[in-house]
Structure 1
Amino acid sequence: MKTTISNDEFYAGLQQLPKPQYPFPDFIHPDFQQQRQEYYDWIDKEYIFHSKESREKHKKHNLVDIASRGCPFLKNIEELRPLASYAANGAMMDDYWDRCSSKEMDEICNRTMALLNGDDSNEPTDNGISHQFWILRQDCLQCEMPERLYKKFIKTIHDVLIGYSYERVYYRTNTIPPLAVFLIIREATSGAHPFCQYVAMQKEYRQFPDEILEHPHIKRLHTLCALMIGIHNDIISLPKELHREEDTMNLVKVLQQEHKISTKDAYMMALELHDNYLKEFLILQQYLPPFDKWQDMVYNYVQDLGIMVAGVYAWHTNDTTRYVNGGYVDGEYISQD
């Protein structure tokens, strides 16, 4: 994408189109400023393999605010830190390895999971993305995250990384997938499933037995969260992705190809799909299955899932630097495949 393009060309009339809206209140974690400072510090320390321009752009994006807004009820910064690390490091690794191959992404996935599950307990000697994932595990241990929740958390991170690998098949061939394939990939790459698991770290939700967190009704709510976040991200990032030919993994582009319609019609169709997922979420919240003594707490947990979705979107709407004209960080990794 050319950075010299005018704003009128960049937005191409999209700014006046309706945007997603959520019926959930807006919160932010009280330690968000401290978390930001830690983020700035580890970008300077860990991300020296990035160009200075990319590092400065990442600082402006305040990616840790995704966690601060998505899980604002965590007790302290010790509990916030692992989710903030996942959110920021995950987004920046996706940026950095934007042009890597599916095979290379598989290798990155294997390395990352060995660090997260403890198969490789040695601290990486080089600073960077792998070191940050090693630190993430230490932070989860430090804040006494229950082991069963941690296993669910890193299982969903694994699924995100698989999604990153899968989508690169389409990036590298510059092709747009069918809608059915796209939705599978986007559910993973939205990055929301780890957030859904981490919501259970708030309040008293960690007391839930596994049969609640693994209930089909709850798992469908997690899927709806992931799809809504994926779609609202595609809507926010659309102007950038319309001007980068290789950015094929956007719902609007998929719908445009699938139905042979204009960009604006595809945009409105994407928003309609998002809104239908939101309606389904609210229905499922209203008609929860019987959970006996946990009933009220499950309802509140689902409400906090909604707050999480709205919080991630609030980061998008409050950020004015990541998806704007010339604000996105281009992938700097040079693929060897």
Structure 2
Amino acid sequence: MQRKLNMPPLKYPWDHFPPSHPDYFTEEERQWLDEDYATFMMEGATTKIKGHNLANGASWMAPTTTNIQHLRPIARFFLWLTLYDDYYERWPVDKIAIERDRIIGVILGDTPKPTDTGMYRQIAKCRDEWLTYMPYEWIERLAKNMYRYTTYGIMEEAPYRREGRYPSLLRLSFLREYTIAMYPYGDMIEAGMNYMVPKHIMEHPVIMRLRTLLCRIMAVQNDWYTLEKEMVDSKFEVCNHILVLKYERKISLEEAIQETERIHDAYVDEMAAIVSDLPDFGIHQQDIKNYVYHITLNITGLDDWYNGVTVRYIPSEFPKHVYQAAQASKG
């Protein structure tokens, strides 16, 4: 089934690189879903999600990664992070905070409890697989970014969703920067490269700005391709750039789409300008150029995944209220 909205394609000045392993994780993803997710998802939800090709999205975003042992935890995390967002986004904020802290504890080394959901077991498996080739310092940064994503993204967006209230466009830009989850998933760029950016370079203002632009471009990209699904659930989905622009400026949907594309393209232009004029990072220069190149591949790779690989964002294919029963029990 195709999308009904005829959205123009987004444009990027960077390579579209075919993935080394486009379909490798299809069967493994089914196993992960059956073993660790089916117990707390509503009946039939796993069947839908198995058709979304989520784990293989990692292959499109890390297209140069040929080592399956390095790619597997990234694929596991792509699925996990997507379902983490689905699962917790409608929880009460105080309960999200409790889960956040416990999950971060597992990322940092805690052992999941026997009574924990499969969410905990899967992230523990990711951690153990990453630690076979990535330093613990990288894990600590990932944990920090998970905290920021959950706290400044999911938790701060929750009141708008709960009340069906649109944020301002300015407020939305900060919310979506975090709710898109690209601060933690952006760390997967290094995992795919088997290289950790030195701390003093990762904290350089230019690299920090590239990370922010990655989040903002991906947020608009996501809003672009999820628009049709979110219009179906418009009472809850109030944090989409296009819908917020339509509401705030009292313009037509077509005008809101055009303005959102302009915002997206401005972010792309800024990133392209930065990429073409990087600072001198000395002995790390070639590694950082390669890292920045892989930032751009993250963007074009996910764009390719949206455009022909997944059906997740077609309204009829998305399992509504996947976790309704579990959430109701949380109060």
TM-score by length of 2: 0.91
Q: In structure 1, what is the Cα distance between the partners aligned to 2:32 and 2:195?
A: 30
Structure 2: distance between partners of 1:296 and 1:138: 29
Aligned partner of 1:212 in structure 2 is 201
1:289 is aligned to: 279
Deviations 1:283-322 (A, max 9, x none): 0011111212222332222111001111111111123421
- Structure 2 counterparts to residues 234-253 of structure 1, below 5 A: 234-244=223-233, 245-253=235-243
Letter in 2 for 1:242: M
Q: Residue 265 of structure 2 aligns to which amino acid in structure 1? A: D
Match of residue 307 from structure 1:
297
Letter in 1 for 2:50: K
- Between the aligned partners of 1:200 and 1:130, the Cα distance in structure 2 is 23
Once the two structures are superposed, the pairs formed by residues 243-282 of structure 1 within 5 Å of their partners are 243-244=232-233, 245-282=235-272
CA deviation vs aligned residue, 1:19-55 (integer Å, no higher than 9, x gap):
2122222335434433222111110111222234210
What corresponds to 1:103 in structure 2?
A: 94
Judge which range, 123-132 or 252-261, deviates more. Answer: 123-132
Taking only aligned residues, the RMSD between alpha carbons, in angstroms, comes to: 2.1
Structure 1 residue aligned with 2:216: 227
Whole-angstrom CA distance in 1 between matches of 2:78 and 2:147:
14
Q: CA deviation at 1:266?
A: 0.9
Q: Is 2:29 the counterpart of 1:27?
A: no
Gaps of 5+ in 2: none
For residues 88 and 252 of structure 1, the distance between their equivalents in structure 2, rounded to whole angstroms, comes to 26
Q: Percent identity?
A: 28
Tell me, yes or no, if structure 1 residue 90 matches structure 2 residue 81.
yes
Quote how far apart the aligned CAs of 1:195 are: 3.0
Conserved? CA contact 1:70–1:195, under 8 Å? no
SS in 2 for 1:121: coil
Q: Secondary structure at the match of 1:249?
A: coil
Q: Distance in 1 between matches of 2:101 and 2:114?
A: 15
Deviation at 1:110, TM superposition (A): 1.6
| Gap change, CA 1:124 and 1:158, over 3 Å in 2 | farther
Deviation at 1:135, TM superposition (A): 1.7
1:109-151 alpha-carbon deviations (Å, 9 max, x no partner): 1221111112x3345444521221222222222x221122222
Q: 2:68 aligns with which of 45, 59, 77?
A: 77
Partners of 1:281 and 1:44 in 2: how far apart? 40
One-letter code of the match for 1:239? E
Kindly indicate whether the alpha-carbon contact (under 8 Å) linking 1:19 and 1:271 is maintained by their aligned counterparts in 2. Answer: no
Aligned counterpart, 1:154: 143
1:225-249 deviation digits (Å, cap 9, x = unpaired): 1111110110101011112121111
The answer on 1:64 being equivalent to 2:41 is no
Unmatched runs of 5 consecutive residues or more in structure 1: 1-5
Asked if 1:184 corresponds to 2:174, the answer is yes
**What does residue 127 of structure 2 align with?**
137
Contact 2:223 2:240 in 1 (8 A): yes
Pairwise CA distance, 1:222: 0.7
**Kindly tell me: are residues 214 and 38 of structure 1, through their superposed partners in 2, closer, same or farther at Cα, counting changes over 3 Å?**
same
Give 1:3's aligned residue. none
Contact conserved, 1:31 with 1:76, CA < 8 A, in 2?
A: no
The answer to whether the 8 Å contact 2:169/2:244 transfers is: yes
SS in 2 for 1:326: helix
